[in-house]
Amino acid sequence: MLSQSFVSSTVILLVATSIAVSVFRHFGLGSIFGLLIAGIFIGPHTPGPRIVEDVEHLRQFTELGVVLLLFLIGLEMQPQRLWTIRREMFGLGTAQIVFSGLFISIGASLAFNSWRIGLLFGSALAMSSTAFVMQILQERGEIASQQGQTSFAVLLMQDLAVVPLLALVPILTATNPLLNAVPHWQHIALIIIMLGLLISGGHFIIRPVLDYLARQHNREGFFLVVLASVFIAAWAMEQAGLSMALGAFIMGIMLSNSRYHYHIQASIEPHKGLLMSLFFVAVGMSIDLSALIEKPILFTIYVTAIILIKILVLFSLCLLFGTSKKIAM
């Protein structure tokens, strides 16, 4: 529910984000940090101006920015390039999830005296935020670099690992009605069917439609068909129990060899930038600083331990997979 008029809320949002991003970019801290701080400042958990009370609904809407980000990355990632990172994706990515999850689970089990809670923590915290990492790599122009491609391969494997992790962790399965409603073999079959429909639809339906609209010089229709295809792909993967971003990424790959590659990219990029900015603001708004201030030492210890575990695990695994020390770090 809006606590103020739409116009005044928009003014507060724009002023806070523009100041924060300008200041943090000036000091070389990046725009993401600035957007998070702006979100904390105008969020419901801090005194002062606030634009919404229900942050969760706002964050769900702004996740469409993450969907468009992965679509654009897929648009640049042609199938041949995706094949070249298969070793990092299935080998390094899987090993990172298993070993990070294992060590975090052991620590959490000892801390909370419960293996179930430890398994929940390990499975969740072995993952990373695709939105944060890819946005940082994009800002630095490192997506095409070796460390960027390796990072992306690990992130992509994490997106694929969501379903088996949900199936393995009893606590998490209760939060996914789809996994409880059907046997696992049916769920796997559903994923395969959705992937097949997505790939065939992108090749045999979306491409011919875009060709027709381009010949008709129908720019509005062209843009709306692209946007609809991205969100239909995201919806299909969500129905299959996978992440929406993965569906958008697959649709991007399907259109990566299209003759309209650059036109699609130019039409989607501005909307992606706006929604991604709002996404990071919404994440900042959901941060309750008072909860962190209550136990700052414990919070610092836990965060430091998790970061060290993931650094050591991934650094060691990268070296085992033949990556140089510089890239591994």
- Rg over alpha carbons for the chain, rounded to the nearest Å, is 21
Give 25-81 pLDDT, tens digit per residue. Answer: 877 777 888 888 888 888 777 776 666 666 777 777 777 888 888 888 788 777 777
Q: What is the mean pLDDT of residues 177-193?
A: 64
Residues 6+ away with beta carbon under 8 Å from 190: 182, 239, 240, 241
- Picking from 3-7, 52-56, 116-120, 268-272, which range would have the lowest pLDDT averaged per residue? 3-7
Predicted pLDDT at 2: 44
Using the predicted structure, report yes or no on whether residue 87 has a pLDDT greater than 60.
yes
Residue ranges covered by each domain of the chain: 1-53, 61-85+160-328
Contact 102, 122 (CB under 8 A): yes
Using the predicted structure, report yes or no on whether residue 287 has a pLDDT greater than 70.
yes
144-150 contact pairs (CB < 8 A, 24+): 146/323, 146/327, 147/327, 149/85, 149/88, 150/85, 150/88, 150/92, 150/318, 150/323, 150/327
Angle, helices 261-285 vs 31-42, to 10°: value is 40
**Mean pLDDT estimate for the chain:** 81
Predicted pLDDT at 1: 42
Predicted pLDDT at 182: 55
pTM of the prediction?
0.72
Residues 6+ away with beta carbon under 8 Å from 176: 166, 241
Residue predicted with more confidence, 10 or 87: 87
- 3-class secondary-structure state, position 128: coil
The CA distance from 93 to 88, in Å, is: 6
The CA distance from 106 to 124, in Å, is: 13
Predicted pLDDT at 149: 87
Contact 257, 207 (CB under 8 A): no
Give 207-239 pLDDT, tens digit per residue. Answer: 888 888 888 888 888 889 888 988 898 888 888
Q: Where residue 304 falls among pLDDT bands split at 50, 70, 90?
A: very high
Predicted pLDDT at 109: 87
Q: Where residue 184 falls among pLDDT bands split at 50, 70, 90?
A: low
- Angle in degrees, CA 17, 22, 26, rounded to 5: 150
The tokens describing 213, both together, are: 């609209």
